[in-house]
């Protein structure tokens, strides 16, 4: 392989790329969302500035990806924290666990999703929609909701899916031990079709795990729940805040 040919590749292994380099379309993407109230101090310990916290609310989610271009079916679970930035309401993606390696790697490399490997599941059992997350063979979370209990307005469901989302993108400089990039980024899904949406009574349990510390944001009260089925395409991220630039402006320090 010629030196110039290396620059035509955006991932490794060079001869067997892990994921496709194009927008990804999701068909029949199924959400179980449980919004809960948690400890405000716990949120302040994990939400990075300049994001602000108004109400101490977290959305626990389990997503069944029924059909995904380039990846196939997989399941994902995580926590999204309600935040504001410059008066705009959105969510900060705190944790994400997947059972698909390619989707995990592409989410981290091509974007800024905080994805790691786990074992989430979503199923229907005797009239209950059950979402679970395991890590290292141990239970991390169990969410239950009455299955298709009450119809949810499709516009309201769409608003839940298309809320602005914030993530932190960190790129280390492996030669100096410094950071090459540290940015708060923003994305927002716009290409979405809501096929069905439901709400109903729900419960959520979080369990202590050193490598999946969801329980650090404890469940104090379940506020709402939804079950939504969509088709959508993920949107690219846009810069929202440059942490290295802000540090350089404040202190005159710049990593080399």
Could you write out the DSSP letters of every residue in 171-203?
EE-TTTSSEEEEEEEEE---EEEEEEEEE--EE
Residue 196 in contact with residue 117, Cβ under 8 Å? Answer: no
Q: How far is CA 225 from CA 91, 95, 217, in A?
A: 16, 19, 17
Residue ranges of the chain whose pLDDT lies below 70 = 253-256
Contacts of 177 (CB under 8 A, 6+ apart): none
pLDDT at residue number 256: 52
* 148 among known catalytic residues: no
pLDDT at residue number 252: 75
Beta-strand pair 88-98/191-199: unpaired
pLDDT in tens, 76-93: 999 999 999 999 999 999
pLDDT at residue number 254: 62
pLDDT at residue number 236: 92
Helices (H), the chain: 3-6, 40-44, 101-109, 154-161, 243-251
**Residue 122: enclosing H or E segment and its boundaries?**
strand 119-125
pLDDT at residue number 226: 98
Residue-wise burial string across 208-239, b where 16 or more C-beta atoms lie within 10 A, e elsewhere: ebeebebebbebeebeebbbbbbbbebbebee
pLDDT in tens, 224-254: 999 999 999 999 999 999 999 999 888 876 6
The β-bridge partners of 27 are 67
């Amino acid at each position: 392989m010629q030196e110039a040919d290396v620059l035509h590749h955006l991932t490794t292994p060079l001869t067997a790329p892990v994921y496709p380099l194009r927008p990804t379309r999701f068909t029949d993407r199924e959400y179980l969302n449980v919004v809960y109230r948690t400890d405000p101090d716990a949120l302040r310990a994990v939400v990075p500035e300049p994001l602000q916290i108004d109400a101490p609310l977290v959305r626990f989610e389990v997503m069944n990806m029924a059909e995904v271009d380039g990846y196939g079916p997989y399941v994902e679970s995580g926590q999204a924290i309600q935040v504001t930035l410059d008066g705009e309401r959105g969510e900060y993606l705190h944790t994400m666990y997947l059972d698909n390696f390619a989707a995990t790697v592409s989410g981290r490399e091509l974007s800024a999703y905080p994805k790691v490997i786990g074992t989430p599941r979503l199923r229907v059992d005797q009239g209950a929609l059950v979402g679970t997350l395991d890590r290292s063979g141990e239970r991390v979370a169990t969410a239950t909701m009455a299955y298709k209990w009450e119809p949810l307005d499709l516009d309201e469901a769409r608003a839940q899916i298309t809320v602005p989302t914030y993530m932190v993108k960190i790129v280390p400089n492996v030669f100096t031990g410094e950071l090459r990039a540290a940015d708060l980024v923003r994305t927002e899904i716009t290409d979405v079709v809501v096929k069905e949406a439901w709400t109903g009574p729900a419960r959520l349990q979080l369990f202590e795990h050193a490598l999946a510390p969801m329980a650090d944001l404890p469940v104090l009260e379940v506020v709402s729940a939804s079950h939504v089925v969509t088709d959508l395409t993920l949107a690219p991220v846009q810069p929202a805040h440059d942490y290295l630039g802000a540090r350089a402006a404040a202190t005159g320090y710049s990593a080399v």
